[in-house]
Structure 1
């Protein structure tokens, strides 16, 4: 029996044949699935817009981390992964429900979590999808352009992207062919930092610091601040607050360990 995540992916693609065509496999292969295979999740997510959390909640409801990662880095990895997911696409209903269960505390970051949970509990999937479209896609372009090149040069696909690609190659990180976005998209950078912090991509503490200082610190805080003040922002205003505060904590921590 086909599970809910696979059914949604097929529906979003317009049928089994179209889903198969988009990810470069045969229709009989898709027809044989009961759920999206683990090795196909990223590709299916990219071509359908259905979150990997919805496609395979058994794999992605909790972030996978290496066995030897300490609790602080696990927390960092999960924070980056949450931001990556919310920046990549509008959160589906299942993810909104999960976010609404977040617990805050008396710290600034804990308060940001509580505000995000409140925002998730009061917005519908349709409303947040419209908000995401207005903010990041738009008719022609969205209110915000979440790319390092744009924030640092005023143009897309400029030198910051080239420098990032060089540093990613040094870490052995390759672009996913089915991802149409350039690597300097904020979602991609947060996903990379989640992989580094969680040990899924082996890297020293210095390598993490350099990635942050070269490719995130110079601009992403401004993106999150702009998100907090964006005309179209409602739910994403709380995402902006969380992202800005988290990056401030990251910057301070990297300064202390340098």
Structure 2
């Protein structure tokens, strides 16, 4: 959803993993998975960490899922006839309406960081998938060099204030076990990142 440059840089393995995780979750929130996507997700292995357990639950849900059914579930959850069951935009969660001040603030911040919406994207930039793609780019250097402080500021301003509520709602819905597992995984990711940024903020 966001415009990415070719300025990726060498990353420490843990930073590369963070970027990949943001991109992975963003991809599944942007569009329903393809058959190839499902094949990959079904092979994900759990580990003892909370995030690893979330991956395991998503893999288990993928093994029970059908690609055509997931397409219908994605549409019911996020698109619908006029509106889906969930509205995955910061403005909506923070104000009850689309295209409100949180979106305007985000656009100003994005411009200052050199992030722009891709020309072929029509959705507002405060969609959860676009915000996660922005975090991916800030981590991997796609938008030019950035530091942890820049990442923390973007996350705190535009994700931490509402994404946990969205992921809780996604995890609680009963339309799709797969997307419920994705909601749980997204909730774990935002909690981990919030704790890590809080810790780095205290150390700064």
TM value normalised by structure 2: 0.93
Among 128, 138, 163, the alignment partner of 2:70 is 128
Give every structure 1 segment of 4 or more consecutive aligned residues whose post-TM-superposition deviation is greater than 2 Å.
64-68
Contact 1:227 1:233 (8 Å CA) reproduced: no
2:199 aligned residue: 256
1:165 aligned residue: 107
How many angstroms apart in 2 are the aligned matches of 1:233 and 1:65? 37
How many angstroms apart in 1 are the aligned matches of 2:174 and 2:66? 19
Question: Is 1:186 aligned with 2:128?
Answer: yes
Among 10, 15, 26, the alignment partner of 1:73 is 15
* Structure with max Cα Rg: 1
Contact 1:119 1:238 (8 Å CA) reproduced: yes
How many angstroms apart in 1 are the aligned matches of 2:61 and 2:125? 29
After TM superposition, give the deviation of residue 175 of structure 1 in Å.
Answer: 1.4
How many angstroms apart in 2 are the aligned matches of 1:195 and 1:67? 11
Contact 1:65 1:74 (8 Å CA) reproduced: no
Q: Which runs of 5+ in 1 are unaligned?
A: 1-41, 43-63
Contact 2:9 2:140 (8 Å CA) reproduced: no
1:239-250 alignment, distance < 5 Å = 239-250=182-193
TM value normalised by structure 1: 0.74
RMSD over aligned Cα, in angstroms?
Answer: 1.6
Q: Which runs of 5+ in 2 are unaligned?
A: none
User: SS of the residue aligned with 1:132?
Assistant: helix
Of structures 1 and 2, the one scoring higher in RCO (CA 8 A, sep 6+) is: 2
1:28 aligned residue: none
Q: Deviations over 1:135-164 (max 9, x none)?
A: 001112100000000000000000000000
How many angstroms apart in 2 are the aligned matches of 1:82 and 1:189? 13
1:101 aligned residue: 43
Contact 2:174 2:180 (8 Å CA) reproduced: no
1:203-214 alignment, distance < 5 Å = 203-214=146-157
Question: Is 1:221 aligned with 2:160?
Answer: no
Contact 1:83 1:243 (8 Å CA) reproduced: yes
After TM superposition, give the deviation of residue 230 of structure 1 in Å.
Answer: 1.1
- Count of residue correspondences: 197
After TM superposition, give the deviation of residue 104 of structure 1 in Å.
Answer: 1.0
Among 11, 25, 29, the alignment partner of 1:87 is 29
Q: Deviations over 1:204-236 (max 9, x none)?
A: 211100000000000011111000111313210
How many angstroms apart in 1 are the aligned matches of 2:188 and 2:75? 24
